[in-house]
Structure formats: C-alpha cells, structure tokens
A and B are shown apart, each in its own frame.
Chain A
Amino acid sequence: MSEGTLYDKVWDRHKVTTLPTGQDQLFIGLHLIHEVTSPQAFGMLRERDLEVAYPKLTHATVDHIVPTADQSRPYEEDAAEEMMSELEENVREAGIEFSDPTTGDQGIVHVIGPEQGLTQPGKTIVCGDSHTSTHGAFGALAFGIGTSQIRDVLATGTVAMEKQKVRKIQVDGELGEGVEAKDIILEIIRRLGTEGGVGYVYEYAGEAIENLNMEGRMSICNMSIEGGARAGYVNPDETTYEWLKATDYFQENPEKFDELKPYWESIASDEDAEYDDVVHIDASELEPVVTWGTTPGQGVGVTEPIPAPEELPAEKQDTARRAQEHMRVEPGETMEGYDIDVAFLGSCTNARLPDLRRAAEIIEGRQVDDDVRAMVVPGSQRVQHAAEEEGLKDTFEEAGFEWRNAGCSMCLGMNEDQLEGDEASASSSNRNFVGRQGSKEGRTVLMNPQMVAAAAVTGEVTDVRDLQEVTVA
C-alpha cells in the first residue's frame, strides 16, 4: 500500500466515510460537465425528484458536438442542437455556470478548467469523460466517471470509489529536439501496455517532468487513461503556482492564492513516500513516437521498425495482426513515408497555445502538401484568440491549413469533422481506435503536434527533426 503520496493525502482529505460496499465515499471539489454524458444523469435526477447538491462546484461547457465551422444557432444538425438546448436548460435550472460559446470561454472541458483556474492542486475533480485525468497535471486527483456516477455527484456532491495503488513513473534525462511530452506518454503506454495501469494511479516525476511546462504535463496526464490508469498526476511546484496565479480565479481573488498555497504544498508527495511500484524512463533516449496500430499502445520510434506480431507478448499478437491489416503496414518497415490524407491538429491532448506554436514553427514558410486536408482546431476560444493575436492563424492559413473554432472536432468525429473512407490521418489526439475519427475504414496515426505539422507539409509520416535541420541550415 502506498503511503505519503499526493494520492493518499488528497484521498484522505476528501473521504467522507466508508460505505457498506467497502468503497469510500469521496467529496468532489469540482464537477465538470459537458453535453454528451450529462443529459441522462439530469434525467435520472428528475425521475427521482432530486436537485443538484453543489451547483457552485459544478461547471459546464460544450465541446463534443459543437460545430467548429459555422456556430450560429440553431446548429445545422438537429441532434447537436437538441443536445445543446438540453444542456442549456439543465444548467439554467440548476444554476450551474456555463462557458458557452458566447462567453469567449468555451472549449474542450480539459482545456478550459485549467485556463480559468478551476483546476487546482489538491482538489478532487471528476467529469463524465475519461480524459479528466488531464487535470492531474496540477496535482489534483482527477478521474473520469460514468453517467450513473455523474448522477451521484450531482445529487450528493460525492462518488463511491475504491482506493487504488500508486505507481511512480520516474522520467529522468533531457528531451532531445523534436521530442516532447506526448512522446514520453506514448512511450510509457507502449512499454507498460494499454492495460498496464489498471488498478493504478500514475505519479509522473523526475527531471524531465519537472522541466515541462503545464501544457506538457497536461498532455502526459491526459493519456494516463490510454495506459489503463484512471488518473495520473504531477506534484505541484513553482511552475504550477505560476500558472495558477495568472488565472481568472486568482486574479479576481489574489488573497486566495496565499491562503491556499500552504494546502497545495502540504498535499505533495513526501520525499520518503512509499509507492506500490516504480518505473524508470530515460527521456534522453526517446525519439518522436508514432503509432502503427489501432491502440495507443501500438507505438514505435519514428525511425524504428514496426514490430512483427510474433515478437509481441502472446496476448497482444492477435490485436497486432488485425491492427497491421487495418493500417496496411508491414513489420520491419518504419512508419516514415506512410501516406497521409488528413492532418489534424487539435484535441485535449495537444491543442493548447505552445502546441500550436511549435507546429507553426515547422510550417512557417512551407506549404501543406497538395493531397492533404489540414486543419487546426484550437482547444478553447481563449487559445484561439491568443493564437490569432500572435499571428499563428495567419501562419497556418498561409500554409494551407483550415483554421477552425474550438471543440473536440475530429478527435472523435461527433460533429461534421470526420475522416472519409479509408483516409489516413496524422493526428495530435489521443486515440487511434478503429472508427474513432468518424470512418470505420479510417486510419489514425498518433503523434506530437510538430510531427503533425511535418506530415502535413510532406504528405507522409516524417521525422520532424529532418525538417528542423533544414530550417536551421
């Protein structure tokens, strides 16, 4: 059993009681909701004549179905309009704050929470969305929940959970050029497997993690769930506090910052904390990672050969064979040169300002390949506006990218942004499951945002370091 970790401390501070099932009842400090997973929960509440217990600790946004081109109401698609109206009615009735598109604060739920300062160290945060793990970057205990649990949180301000084990992932060494946070997490999932984290919460630590900015830490925590861990976190430090200080909440309540800081410091893992497992990764050995298959664990360094199914553990071989057939890749070859039809720069993994900046650096002075449809979908309206002000929008548009409004977009293809037929996409998102991007023949190659930019201009999976050398020369 772990002891003295952030996970243990935050859990203890939020535990109300142990239920007859043996699960703990945990108080929830922030409940984020969006249009896809909440309407049924509000429906269940109505059926039982219950009210939202803690509306002021609840915050809503719209992201999954929101159109990223024309956002005028009513939305062109009836189903999208219905979901939006339902959410509007639910939040109005319950008195829940809603970052809707007219506020300028709307965006992907895991982008806007941190932006507004709602996400803070030592909070318990839930959302009916598996990538809620993102918020762990701030030293929060954040996890995705199902709709029945959303009902629980709405009705009681708590969830029932079993405590998990804690695995420390120690990432030492310095990242090389073209290699970033996304590559660290793809490497972790590749090594530990998509189910390696089941039963665990991941603590990301070490020099390479400490050197990351908050956006990088978010990219890592975001994909904890792809490694089977329900939550992941980084201990709060000066980088975290600097971010917090600049957010709305602490700008409006500066006294709160000094008031809360001792609490934040107190919940960080102790030097001598005990972990259930420790794993070491050397960041300096990494190169940009790309996926060759249909699970996020099927990744490979961009210059490394794609593994033969027989080389993999027995239980992974079948999935690998099917994945290679679907992706039409051959073991022994590298992913370099794999033809790309679509470049998607977006999602809660990699659509924050620094992500767009790094990609823009690559495409500056270059053109999107003639056969590629390329789009940027900023993670939030604030990211979008900041990027427009910096001139990033112009850089992207001049290179031939489409510049869209904020939302989930082609990460999961619930709005009009979808792959068609067997198109292959270079995507900065987090899931390459069959059908994920809207077409069941579609093929998704996950990679970091600079790599997406490189693929967009060459029309194929490209080692971004090759382009960087050219730029430097």
Chain B
Amino acid sequence: MSGSDEVEIPEVDYVSGSGIPVRGNDIDTDQIIPARFMKVVTFDGLGEFAFFDLRFDDDDNPKDHPMNEDRFQNSSVMVVNSNFGCGSSREHAPQALMRWGIDAIIGESFAEIFAGNCLALGIPTVTADSETIQELQDWVDEHPDEEIEIDVEAEEVTYGDTTIDVTVDEAQRKALVDGVWDTTALMKSNADAVREKAKELPYVDDEAIPEAE
C-alpha cells in the first residue's frame, strides 16, 4: 500500500473531561439529530444542532436541557441511561455529539449501530449498571467542573474519590487501545484475499471483480 493513503490513527486508551448528564432511556437518534438537519453533504457544523428539538422550542428559545446550561458547556463526557442511540443508523448522531464536544459516553446500554458509529469516530461507549450510572449522573450534577477519567484499557472510570468498574465491548476496547478503530486502511491491506473471496462466491460475476492493483 502506498504511504499516501495511510492515516494516523490515535490510540484511545484514556479519556478525561468534565461530565454532562443526559437522562432518559431509549433516546433515539432522531432526538440526537432531527432528520431535517441531515440535509447536508458534510458533517461540518452539525454540533449546534445536537438534541435541537429538546433544547429549543418552536421559536428557537432555549428550553431546559443540560446542553443549554452554562456549567456544562465545556463538558466532554456524556453520561446517559439505557438503549441510548436506538433507531436510525445515522452517523450524523455521534458526529453531532462529537462536534458539540463529546469525547466519550458512559451509559447503561447503547444501541449497536450507534456504538459502532461512535467507535468509527474513536468515541468510547462504556457501560455500567443502572444504579452506578444514576449515581454518576447525580455526582456530575453536583460537580460539573470536575474531571471524570475513563481508563478504556483497564475498564475503569474514576470520579471524585470513586473508581467504578465499567465494561467496554471487547472488540471496541482492542480497536481503541491499539489504535485500529479506523478499519479502512486495515482492511484495504487484505485486498488480494478479498478478491479471492469474491471469486469463490457463486453469485459474483467475474467482471465485477477488479484487477489486482
């Protein structure tokens, strides 16, 4: 492979930052980024529309939402509840959160496609049980400026004097810690094997298989 298409992929073994609690189960990606903001051909500028309909009323006046509160403006670790990111597969959702400033999400559980989309951006989605999460959310509410530290490799989160065990999906952990979460380069290096696989499949016409580079 030529050097030019190699992209530097950082290792994400540790993330820290102050927290922001976003409460509620089953928060779907339509809420994280309403469809009308997806009429774009790049992800730039999506950050300001994150959670838009929960943050603003019809006349664009701010509503009660943690993302509107001054004290959370510099937060980068979002703490959520269960089945976060369900619904539409839109990568616009984690893109919007990332562009708003989120580097990691701690929650009770995540929808799979959402977690996969986060991983593709190098955003860890780590989980703990519901009680632990609620305690953390309450703590963040009281300590909006204090750091939460996520040790992805050791699967630990530390805040104040507390350290809790969290779970990071095995493949996600490896990908983040070893810096192989950007799979394009990795998989492109197997191009020959991919072509061989294509040839074995009865439904793939020969002319659909590209010549070796």
A152 and B190 form a contact (CB under 8 A): no
B41 and A413 form a contact (CB under 8 A): no
CA distance A316 to B191 in the complex (A): 46
Which stretch (B14-22, B105-113, B145-153, B154-162) binds chain A? Answer: B105-113
CA distance A259 to B203 in the complex (A): 9
Residues in B neighbouring A393, C-beta threshold 8 A:
none
B191 and A195 form a contact (CB under 8 A): no
A434 and B89 form a contact (CB under 8 A): no
Which stretch (A15-23, A172-180, A203-211, A356-364) binds chain B? Answer: A15-23
A17 and B190 form a contact (CB under 8 A): yes
Give B35-88 interface residues, CB cut-off 8 Å to A.
35-36, 38-43, 53, 58, 82-83, 86-88
Residue B207 CB within 8 A of the other chain: yes
A146 contact from B28, B116, B197, Cβ within 8 A? B116
Residues in A neighbouring B43, C-beta threshold 8 A:
40, 147
Nearest CB of chain A from residue B147's CB, rounded to whole Å: 28
Q: C-beta contact mask, A131-168 vs B, less than 8 Å → 1, else 0? A: 00000000000001111110110011111101000000
CA distance A123 to B121 in the complex (A): 28
Chain B contact-residue range equals 35 or more
Residues in B neighbouring A43, C-beta threshold 8 A:
41-42
Chain B, residue nearest A199 (CB): B112
A319 contact from B24, B42, B209, Cβ within 8 A? B24
Residue A436 CB within 8 A of the other chain: yes
A319 and B26 form a contact (CB under 8 A): yes
B91 and A21 form a contact (CB under 8 A): no
A54 and B210 form a contact (CB under 8 A): yes
A230 and B113 form a contact (CB under 8 A): yes
Chain A, residue nearest B200 (CB): A13
Residues in B neighbouring A73, C-beta threshold 8 A:
none
Chain A, residue nearest B93 (CB): A146
B202 contact from A130, A230, A260, Cβ within 8 A? A260
Residues in A neighbouring B7, C-beta threshold 8 A:
48
CA distance A54 to B43 in the complex (A): 25
CA distance A155 to B7 in the complex (A): 14
Nearest CB of chain A from residue B30's CB, rounded to whole Å: 5
CA distance A22 to B183 in the complex (A): 12
Nearest CB of chain B from residue A284's CB, rounded to whole Å: 31
Q: C-beta contact mask, A24-35 vs B, less than 8 Å → 1, else 0? A: 010101000000
